[in-house]
Chain A
Amino acid sequence: MDEDIIEFGLYVPPHPHPLLSPEANNGYGRLRAAYDECRKRIEESDADLIIVYSTTWPSIIGHQFQANPNSEWVHVDDDFHYLGSMPYSFTMDAEFAESCVQKAESRGLQARTVNYDAFPIDTGSITALSLLNPDNRLPATIVSSNMYANRSETIVLGKAIRDALTEGGRKAVVVVVSSLSNRMFTEPIDPSEDRIHSQKDDDWNKKILEFFNDGRLEDLSQLSREIHGQIRVQKVVAYKPAWWMAATMGQHNNYTGEVLAYEALHGSGGAVIQLTPATGSVGDKEFDEDDVEYYKGDREVLNKGMLE
């Protein structure tokens, strides 16, 4: 059934170097080539929609879906402004975004569409959409990453998007924009000397890539908290991309995985990975973390269940 609504999933890095300076380092060039290959694969696929989940678009009021049919502006990255500006013009699927909001609300989530002239689309989404869908051949929507959301909310968000895909009879390419290890060097570097920030980050990244290669997405989703503790700078409450990707792609391990590139981006782990729903599987394990269908809020655990 996944093949009906998900053509394939991509995991891509958020930093702008593959778009703005692919020639500065052979690794950036290889990431760019991997992006280009994915662009071709999208063109050759039956997908009619691209859904982007971006870790560089935080939200507070629930979950926001980009719905401006013509999202246009010139963006400049906060850190890497010296690499150049990023003009963009994206076609968003307003109807699908609206359907996602309805489905999210019916699963207990707070959600809304965003459709404003000059809205600041984030660096990660711009890099991904510019390279994967340069001529707006397919319409897209971008989903924000709620600052306070943890696992259950993120899983339910993915399921809501599946509901919208199923109801609309759509077929999507799912794009997660996120680093693996996300620690960057805190000083300027010569791009030609870029490398993963530490051996530990590199080791963990390679372990994660093994899982991706084996198509073990649900296993990665189950390992999210461990990954967050080990190789993520604690900027947000949790490492959510694998939760969202797994929930949106069907919560199992039945994928054909391919790591197209893995390189350093100012010290962080940048990878371009494709996961395609398949029939074979390494098998589903007994998972520690519960599944959840409906989001019931914070449930006020602190003031309930006390002994009278």
Chain B
Amino acid sequence: MPKGEIVLGALAPHPPHVVYAENPPQNEPISEGGWETLRWGYNRLARKLETLDYDAIVVFTPHWQTYVGTHFLGLPRFSSKSVDPIFPNIFRYNYDLQVDVELSEAMCEKAAEAGLITRMMRNPDFRVDYGTITSCHMLNPKWDKPVITISSNRNTHYYSPEVMIEQALALGKACREAIEESGKRVVLVSSHSLSHRHFVTESPLPEDMSREHIYNHSQYVWDMALIKLFREGKMKEAIDIMPEYTEQTIAETEGGGIIWMMGAMDMPDYPAEIYGYQSVIGTGNCIAAWVPEPDAREIVL
């Protein structure tokens, strides 16, 4: 069996607004569009993924929040309706997804061997979080690949950003080892925004783009500083400034997604592909991809 590998790692923000704006048949509310910069970027990345040969998508999500260790989806199929508890007016999505339980169990086992607290989630009534659903819908609207969701342990608040980073890196490394041993080709997804201060009001038409802008300039400047490091392939530096970045912008990086992904990808030192940056209800969102195989790497934006 050939060694398994990570074919691409995507930073894939999950404001449900982008799914709402796409008007897929799975989502009940109907929109007039909006957030095109992000959606077109997603569409472009989804087209690239169609050209890649891969077996499964592994998602790390901040919206499955666990305090007692890291949890992994552990049943072959989840089918239900996901209603966003924060934006129920725009996201009520009927999903039906397959899980690669074998790989999920292997990652769970490797993480436990590395000393992390882990648990498989095997309750059939469990609703998969809307972060997973939004990122996966935008990256693979056909839903024709099995998905594994990994919960985010809330280390940042319980201990410190530094503890979270260490654990997320260890989890990433364990996932990489499990993937390599599985012989599978895998896409990793770190599902989150960058800066994460929201407006607490919403325009009557949520997709009214005349109202959309970043919450404040400081958030924007920090987001750009981070994206510059992505572009330059300086991911070690990016992780190094993460505690300060996260504190300054109350960023959704606090869940550890991108850090986990960088740990799994052995801290890339090559440029990321940038697919777009746009604010959603004031938060900063960047779509980016890291592609280990140099021949498959592009300059997108």
Interface positions of A (Cβ within 8 A of B): 57-62, 74-76, 78-79, 81-82, 84-85, 110, 114, 116-120, 122, 146-148, 183-188, 233-235, 266
Known contacts A61-B86, A76-B127, A82-B123: A187-B117 contact under CB 8 Å: yes
Chain B interface residue count, Cβ-Cβ cutoff 8 angstroms: 33
Of chain A, the residue at the smallest CB distance from B126 is A76
CB-defined contacts of A62 to chain B, threshold 8 Å: 200-201
Q: Check A235 against B88 for contact (C-beta < 8 Å).
A: no
A184 CB contact (under 8 Å) in B68, B71, B122, B127 = B68
The reply to whether the CB of B69 lies closer than 8 angstroms to some CB of chain A is yes
The reply to whether the CB of B66 lies closer than 8 angstroms to some CB of chain A is yes
CB-defined contacts of A84 to chain B, threshold 8 Å: 123
CB-defined A-B contacts under 8 Å, sample of 16: A59-B86, A61-B200, A75-B127, A116-B88, A119-B88, A147-B198, A148-B198, A183-B158, A186-B158, A187-B68, A187-B117, A188-B117, A188-B119, A233-B154, A233-B158, A235-B157
* Complex CA–CA separation, A224 to B247 (angstroms): 23
Q: Check B67 against A79 for contact (C-beta < 8 Å).
A: yes
Of chain A, the residue at the smallest CB distance from B124 is A85
Q: Check B85 against A120 for contact (C-beta < 8 Å).
A: yes
CB-defined contacts of B65 to chain A, threshold 8 Å: 78
Known contacts A76-B127, A110-B201, A146-B200: A186-B85 contact under CB 8 Å: no
CB-defined contacts of A114 to chain B, threshold 8 Å: 88
Known contacts A119-B83, A186-B67, A188-B117: A61-B202 contact under CB 8 Å: yes
Known contacts A118-B92, A122-B85: A79-B200 contact under CB 8 Å: no
Residues 160-206 of B contacting A (Cβ, < 8 Å)? 198, 200-202
| Listed residue (A81, A119, A148, A184) with the most chain B CB atoms within 10 angstroms of its CB | A81
* Complex CA–CA separation, A171 to B235 (angstroms): 58
Q: Check A60 against B126 for contact (C-beta < 8 Å).
A: no
CB-defined contacts of A187 to chain B, threshold 8 Å: 68-69, 117
CB-defined contacts of A120 to chain B, threshold 8 Å: 83, 85, 127
| Listed residue (B71, B125, B154, B158) with the most chain A CB atoms within 10 angstroms of its CB | B125
Of chain B, the residue at the smallest CB distance from A84 is B123
B64 CB contact (under 8 Å) in A78, A82, A122 = A78
CB-defined contacts of B92 to chain A, threshold 8 Å: 116-118
* Complex CA–CA separation, A212 to B158 (angstroms): 27
CB-defined contacts of B68 to chain A, threshold 8 Å: 79, 184-188, 266
Closest 4 CB pairs of A and B: A85-B125, A81-B123, A76-B126, A118-B81
Q: Check B69 against A119 for contact (C-beta < 8 Å).
A: no
The reply to whether the CB of B87 lies closer than 8 angstroms to some CB of chain A is yes
Interface positions of B (Cβ within 8 A of A): 64-69, 71, 80-81, 83, 85-88, 92, 117, 119, 121-123, 125-127, 151, 153-154, 157-158, 198, 200-202, 281
B200 CB contact (under 8 Å) in A75, A148, A266 = A148
Known contacts A79-B66, A186-B67, A235-B154: A61-B87 contact under CB 8 Å: yes
B215 to chain A, nearest CB (A): 11
Known contacts A85-B123, A186-B117: A58-B158 contact under CB 8 Å: no
* Complex CA–CA separation, A186 to B118 (angstroms): 11
CB-defined contacts of B127 to chain A, threshold 8 Å: 75-76, 120
Q: Check B69 against A186 for contact (C-beta < 8 Å).
A: yes
Q: Check A78 against B201 for contact (C-beta < 8 Å).
A: no
A74 to chain B, nearest CB (A): 5
Of chain A, the residue at the smallest CB distance from B65 is A78
* Complex CA–CA separation, A76 to B86 (angstroms): 18
CB-defined contacts of B157 to chain A, threshold 8 Å: 233-235
Q: Check A82 against B119 for contact (C-beta < 8 Å).
A: yes
* Complex CA–CA separation, A85 to B67 (angstroms): 19
Of chain A, the residue at the smallest CB distance from B92 is A116
Of chain B, the residue at the smallest CB distance from A234 is B157
* Complex CA–CA separation, A137 to B67 (angstroms): 34
Known contacts A57-B85, A58-B85, A118-B83: A78-B200 contact under CB 8 Å: no
A226 to chain B, nearest CB (A): 19
* Complex CA–CA separation, A304 to B198 (angstroms): 22
A94 to chain B, nearest CB (A): 15
Of chain A, the residue at the smallest CB distance from B202 is A61
CB-defined contacts of A59 to chain B, threshold 8 Å: 85-86
A72 to chain B, nearest CB (A): 12
